Chain A
């Protein structure tokens, strides 16, 4: 908070027009805010709020034919960026403003060495050559905390982890010491522990260089962690801006209040266990090994799940929590038998289904249904909603009329109009599609419902609604729910019990409240410590 009132970036009344036929006239409208030297300004909003368009307009990276700035100015240290020639703009990018992107894998050139990509910035903008340039690159890599920069200089992007790639991106952006750094969701694609380290790095570097940072995010946890000031956007307009503490603790605009109210708390509610009766699903010593000996020599073998024991009773939600590569999705896919487990037992209603053939398995498929992460790929774009929902029941000999009646009823259960059955997936929003997927799963009258990151791709307000719906249907249909997630906040709110996985192994399981309040395993502790904004209590949903 050492920001002086010295704006590096000052956006005034910026309006960008969308091409004709879009769902609204302007991508962003009358947007005004500034970023001072030595300050981090978080631009927050849900998808479609215009936060990325704002960033890309500043960088001059928007396709001008489709998105045209029609009003306002963007002042970068006194120069209006909208009035610069392309040549001058190219010079400014890199030297005085730089950007880091969400997906570090696609933002780096896969066929160029990491060090050379940083060096390219220096080659274009400075007169540094040869060894001097390399030295400077290695110093930059050292500054962003990359281990052994000298040898990492020669690494290709695919040889680096997600966190390391993002550090390379940051080193690239910082190599010319720009006055303004724009970060577009730079930690969204990263695991929570990596995210915490990158956020620390960004804070540290920003403080040392005293630059202004425009940080785009949808995650209020990240905002609480990093922001000095916050700009909240909705439908292309700035609805509220102010100091981070004020916005987080005392939001004025109803939209901001709704957004912050939708952030799930990190403290699990104190409630009795809801599971009852016989276990609906249990696994003993479940193993999945990927890869095998290739035709020539030995291939690589990955033990994706190792001796996983779990039990889910009817009426309860078991959370499976872990970072990418922890094996949580593998467990889910084994249970649904989308992949065949290598070893172990999986019992559902008294039958071990781990190794039985497709014919014997088929009657049991009804009992276990799954909702996937990506609502845009979960529904066949060429089938109507009705076809998608009735396909399962009709596979089991239910007549079309009866299946359709049931589908209409389920549409009501998930909060959609039954008339929508004749429509195609592209006519629905992400949240609505996820509701349809839940209806499709329920149509099978399952005993176990698996939600594989089912709310991770959704905006926070929609996420809250879908979580409520999942909890409702669990209650109403007395389902055993297996809830797979990387998000500790979501898990805290919905799960009765939690299972923490790391490298394919269950490191800890128990009651949600016990695990959050008193983690036993160091990894669990590490995960909880890394959760962004853990020290901030967000006002609860009203």
Chain B
């Protein structure tokens, strides 16, 4: 009799679902931060993809038009070799976005793997975390400069150099999530059901790390773009012949007082992109972790 009641309850539910779940994507786009940050970032991506097709050659020298201020012909002016700043900034978007996305993706992938192991396999935890503590103690910029001076400045080296110091942060985050989830009764039920380690990690633990990781990835992306520019500015980044935002600013440094536009435009582009990524990250955190959002 009591069983019958419950069947009725379930069947009644199936006629009228308890809640109408909108898709995760739609839920996120409802957040203003995600929407505007995403829009701005999308514009940047479009510029990076198609911009260089429409602008002039970013490395063509034109000694006649050296250090020209912005005009109808040269939108952002020209630098000390007469190169078109507009074309260089548009091209530089590629470098920044590639570095940002690559660093975020690689550090999240590696950090996720190490973090899961550290969090779940207790005997390895101590060793892994001490290594991570060690990595965290090395200043990111110094490590990058050291790596680049050892192996030469290429895009790959720069990406690797920025990725390494980010990994421990991801590992810590993933490990803390794993530690709270591994004691959940549903994980214990899976152990009791004879599930093997890969299945437990993949089905029961991994999905819990996704939301915080997406948020963390946006912050890593933003800070990687900044670090890349800093390295370029210090002359320790991407080779100077490639127009990255950091390189453009570095070269404009000497002429800052007479032609500030050389630094001004790549600076604005960098600030806007990092802002877009961070605003989107904040928005994602609010939608993916509503508990934090309510407290703010």
Contact = CB atoms under 8 A, between A and B. Distances in A.
Contacts of B184: 377
Interface in A310-328: none
Most buried by A among B3, B190, B196, B199: B3
Interface in B1-60: 2-4, 6-7, 9-11, 13-14, 17-18
A464 to B, nearest CB: 8
Contacts of A380: 186, 190, 203-204
B193 A420 contact: no
A44 to B, nearest CB: 21
A76 to B, nearest CB: 31
A395 B199 contact: yes
A7 interface: no
Interface string A371-415: 011100111101100011001100110000000000000000011
A368 B192 contact: yes
Contact of A372 (B6, B189, B190, B194): B189
B193 A392 contact: yes
A377 B199 contact: no
A427 B18 CA distance: 6
A378 B192 CA distance: 12
B195 interface: yes
Contact of B3 (A365, A382, A387, A469): A469
Nearest to A426: B18
Contacts of B190: 380, 391
A431 B186 contact: no
B195 A391 contact: yes
B193 A382 contact: no
B129 to A, nearest CB: 13
B189 A437 contact: yes
A378 B195 contact: no
A440 B193 contact: yes
Given A391-B190, A432-B9, A377 B185 contact: yes
A362 interface: yes
A378 B194 CA distance: 16
B194 A392 contact: yes
B139 interface: no
Contact of B14 (A366, A378, A395, A419): A419
Contacts of A432: 6, 9-10
Contact of B194 (A383, A396, A416): A396
Interface string B186-222: 1011111111100100011001000000000000000
A334 to B, nearest CB: 12
Contacts of B10: 416-417, 419-420, 428, 432
Given A420-B14, A465-B2, A378 B199 contact: no
Most buried by B among A374, A391, A419: A391
A382 B6 contact: no
Nearest to A369: B192
Contacts of A379: 186
A57 to B, nearest CB: 21
A345 to B, nearest CB: 20
B194 A362 contact: yes
Nearest to B18: A427
B194 A427 contact: no
Contacts of A435: 6
A157 B3 CA distance: 44
Nearest to A429: B9
A81 interface: no
Given A377-B185, A432-B6, A338 B192 contact: yes
Interface string A424-455: 00111101100101001000100000000000
Most buried by A among B2, B190, B194: B194
B193 A365 contact: yes
A414 B2 CA distance: 10
A417 to B, nearest CB: 4
Interface in A340-374: 362, 365-366, 368-370, 372-374
A273 B17 CA distance: 45
Contacts of B188: 336, 338, 370, 372
B135 to A, nearest CB: 21
A490 to B, nearest CB: 16
B22 to A, nearest CB: 13
Contacts of A465: 2-3, 6
Nearest to A393: B193
A415 B13 CA distance: 15
A415 B189 contact: no
Interface in A181-212: none
Contacts of B196: 395
A468 interface: yes
Given A377-B186, A415-B4, A465-B2, A395 B9 contact: no
Contacts of B193: 365, 369, 391-392, 395, 440, 444
B2 A427 contact: no
A22 to B, nearest CB: 11
B227 to A, nearest CB: 35
Nearest to A365: B194
A415 B6 contact: yes
A370 B189 contact: yes
A272 B182 CA distance: 42
Most buried by A among B186, B193, B199: B193
B124 to A, nearest CB: 16
Nearest to B126: A295
A417 B12 CA distance: 11
A415 B2 contact: yes
12 contacts: A338-B192, A378-B189, A383-B203, A396-B194, A416-B7, A417-B11, A427-B18, A429-B9, A432-B6, A432-B9, A444-B193, A465-B2
Interface of B: 2-4, 6-7, 9-11, 13-14, 17-18, 184-186, 188-196, 199, 203-204, 207
- Enumerate the 10 nearest inter-chain pairs by beta-carbon distance, A residue then B residue, closest first: A415-B3, A392-B193, A372-B185, A365-B194, A465-B2, A378-B185, A380-B186, A417-B10, A395-B194, A382-B207
Given A415-B3, A432-B6, 16 more contacts: A336-B188, A338-B188, A338-B191, A365-B192, A369-B193, A378-B186, A380-B204, A388-B186, A391-B199, A392-B194, A395-B193, A414-B3, A415-B7, A417-B10, A417-B11, A432-B10
